Amino acid sequence: MNFKDLIPKGLALVNELSKTDLPSTAKLERVTDLVADFLETADDVVELLPWGFSWLAKLVVDNPSVDALQRQHLAAPIAELLYQTWKGITASGGSLEKFVEAL
């Protein structure tokens, strides 16, 4: 999945969760999980680094401490941005489908 795919999938998940009785914190966690999974996939790109640097880069980016920081400082804000985007589109009477097509 690339970043362009993440936006429609995230908006679709936010839209789906908006129709449930889950607490807001649980909804945000689900969207954050989606983004965190995407970031984990992006971590695997370091394996493509040349000249033997891939093992060192993998060691640096693929560990629990870095994963926690990625979740807190990247995944959670992106998840919140997806929610705010969904809220803005739906509150204005816009169409998620048209927004996604325009990407």
Give the pLDDT confidence of 23-75 residue by residue, as tens digits.
Answer: 999 999 999 999 999 988 888 888 888 877 888 888 888 889 999 999 999 99
At 80, the amino acid letter reads E
For residue 1, is pLDDT > 70? no
Cα–Cα distance measured from residue 24 to residue 9, given in angstroms and rounded to the nearest whole number: 19
- pTM for the predicted model, two decimal places: 0.84
Q: Which two tokens stand for residue 84?
A: 């705010």
Distance CA 88, CA 102 (A): 16
Q: One-letter amino acid identity for 42?
A: A
**Closest C-alpha among 84, 70, 79, 86 to residue 11:** 86
Q: 34 lies in which domain range?
A: 3-102
Domain count, the chain: 1
